[in-house]
């Protein structure tokens, strides 16, 4: 009898160890573009790197296409710990980490190289550190890209053509002010509502980088594209502080390495697809205005600086301008 009982408890113990051994810790990483996008490539790089470094102790579940909500909802989820990780454009981030608004001013960055240098340098790292006092951990700067305007009312060849256009913006005070100043009628909303709103005609247009347009077959619902490049849109790899604090130092190191891999992957995809993406949009019937008087658009949106630069980091904006 004794042997039988010993065997049973041994088996129970083995089963417990076996269950514990295979029970990888799961984390979700949320983003709004589809899996087949620059954010999807970032998410896959994060997943591969984290699962390799942890030897399978962690499983990263990709949650693309707004599966866990719009960017603002996801950031709120990070703060309360209902979501572990996200790749988010800075669009709504300024509502949570105000100093990040300094990155969202129009015509502030002059090239991808300039933006990447600033974000990987002192300014970008200082801003990442700001996230922690807002219950999030800023891990790395990924990339959304330079934003351009699409609509289905008229070709936008000059700022005057924006007059009265119902243009969706992100939930970003600086962008709203910029398009108001230019004469448009800005409508802030989460990305998860944009495609339906365009199809229903409740908005006339929107503005986004080329990879977001191609990943969402924008040619199916928008006729005109104008290559204004009016804002450089960073994306941030960000984690819930609640979940970060539950990791060992070694595990936190893995998260950081995976975040940088994600950032690098997004930039590689943007660099590879910017030109080919514009051609794809043209080939699918969008009328592209490429020769844009950017100085005229910069003048039209300048009031956004008067309205918000002092509140959202005039000193950082000046440092960025001087870094050109």
Query: In sequence order, which ranges of the chain are alpha helices (DSSP H)?
Result: 2-22, 38-53, 71-80, 112-120, 122-130, 173-181, 194-200, 210-215, 241-244, 249-283, 294-301, 303-308, 314-322
Give the shortest CB-44-to-ligand EAX separation in angstroms.
16
Q: Which is nearer to ligand EAX, 58 or 205 (CB)?
A: 205
How far apart (Å, rounded) are the C-alpha atoms in residues 117 and 110? 11
Long-range contacts of 278-285 (CB under 8 A, 24+ apart): 278/210, 278/225, 278/227, 280/214, 281/210, 281/213, 281/214, 281/218, 281/219, 281/225, 284/217, 284/219, 284/220, 285/219, 285/223
Instruction: For residue 71, state whether it binds ligand EAX (rule: CB under 6 A).
Output: yes
Asked whether 157 and 291 are in contact (CB, 8 A), the reply is no
Q: Which is nearer to ligand EAX, 81 or 188 (CB)?
A: 188
Residue from 27, 28, 33, 49 in contact with ligand EAX (CB under 6 A)? 33
Q: Which is nearer to ligand EAX, 91 or 205 (CB)?
A: 91
Q: Which is nearer to ligand EAX, 37 or 240 (CB)?
A: 37
SS (H, E, C) 68-96: CCCHHHHHHHHHHCCCCEEEEECCCHHHC
Give the shortest CB-205-to-ligand EAX separation in angstroms.
12
Give the shortest CB-36-to-ligand EAX separation in angstroms.
14
Given phi > 0 = left and psi -120 to 50 = alpha, else beta, which region is 164? Answer: left
Give the shortest CB-190-to-ligand EAX separation in angstroms.
7
Instruction: For residue 43, state whether it binds ligand EAX (rule: CB under 6 A).
Output: no
Map tokens 């049973």 to a residue: 8
Q: Which is nearer to ligand EAX, 58 or 119 (CB)?
A: 119
Give the shortest CB-245-to-ligand EAX separation in angstroms.
26
Residues 204-233: x where in contact with ligand EAX by CB under 6 A, - otherwise, as a string: ----x---x--------------------x
Give the shortest CB-65-to-ligand EAX separation in angstroms.
10
Give the shortest CB-59-to-ligand EAX separation in angstroms.
24
Residue from 40, 91, 106, 159 in contact with ligand EAX (CB under 6 A)? 91
How far apart (Å, rounded) are the C-alpha atoms in residues 125 and 213? 29
Q: Which is nearer to ligand EAX, 32 or 240 (CB)?
A: 32
How far apart (Å, rounded) are the C-alpha atoms in residues 171 and 24? 36
Between residue 102 and residue 161, which ones bind ligand EAX under the rule CB under 6 A? 144
How far apart (Å, rounded) are the C-alpha atoms in residues 66 and 31? 6
Map tokens 């990888």 to a residue: 24
Give the shortest CB-114-to-ligand EAX separation in angstroms.
20
What is the CB neighbour count within 10 angstroms for residue 214? 23
Q: Which is nearer to ligand EAX, 40 or 54 (CB)?
A: 40
Kindly list the residues in this chain that would bind ligand EAX in the complex (CB under 6 A).
Answer: 32-33, 71, 89, 91, 144, 170, 191, 208, 212, 233
């Amino acid at each position: 009898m004794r042997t039988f009982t010993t065997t049973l408890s041994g088996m129970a113990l083995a089963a417990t160890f076996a269950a514990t051994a295979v029970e990888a810790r799961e984390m979700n990483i949320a983003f709004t573009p589809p899996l087949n996008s620059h954010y999807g490539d970032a998410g896959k790089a994060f997943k591969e790197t984290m699962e390799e470094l942890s030897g399978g102790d962690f499983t990263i579940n990709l949650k693309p296409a707004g599966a866990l909500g719009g960017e603002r909802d996801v950031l709120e989820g990070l703060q309360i710990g209902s979501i572990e990780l996200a790749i988010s454009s800075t669009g709504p981030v300024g509502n949570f980490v105000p100093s990040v608004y300094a990155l969202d001013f129009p015509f502030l960055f002059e090239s991808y190289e300039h933006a990447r240098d600033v974000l990987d340098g002192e300014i970008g790292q200082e801003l990442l550190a700001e996230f922690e006092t807002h219950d999030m951990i800023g891990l790395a700067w990924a990339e959304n890209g330079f934003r351009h305007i699409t609509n289905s009312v008229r070709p936008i060849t000059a700022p005057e053509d924006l007059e009265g256009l119902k243009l969706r913006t992100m939930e970003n005070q600086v962008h709203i002010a910029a398009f108001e100043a230019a004469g448009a009628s800005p409508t802030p909303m989460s990305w998860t509502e944009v495609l339906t709103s365009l199809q229903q005609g409740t908005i006339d247009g929107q503005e986004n980088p080329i990879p977001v347009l191609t990943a969402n077959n924008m040619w199916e619902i928008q006729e005109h594209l104008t290559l204004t490049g009016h804002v450089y849109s960073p994306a941030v790899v960000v984690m819930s502080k609640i979940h970060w604090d539950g990791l060992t130092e070694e595990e936190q190191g893995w998260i950081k390495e995976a975040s940088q891999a994600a950032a690098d992957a997004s930039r590689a995809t943007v660099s590879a697809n910017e030109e080919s993406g514009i051609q794809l949009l043209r080939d699918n019937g969008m009328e592209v205005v490429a020769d844009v008087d950017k100085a005229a658009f910069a003048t039209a949106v300048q009031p956004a600086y008067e309205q918000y630069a002092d509140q959202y980091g005039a000193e950082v904006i000046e440092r960025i301008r001087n870094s050109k």
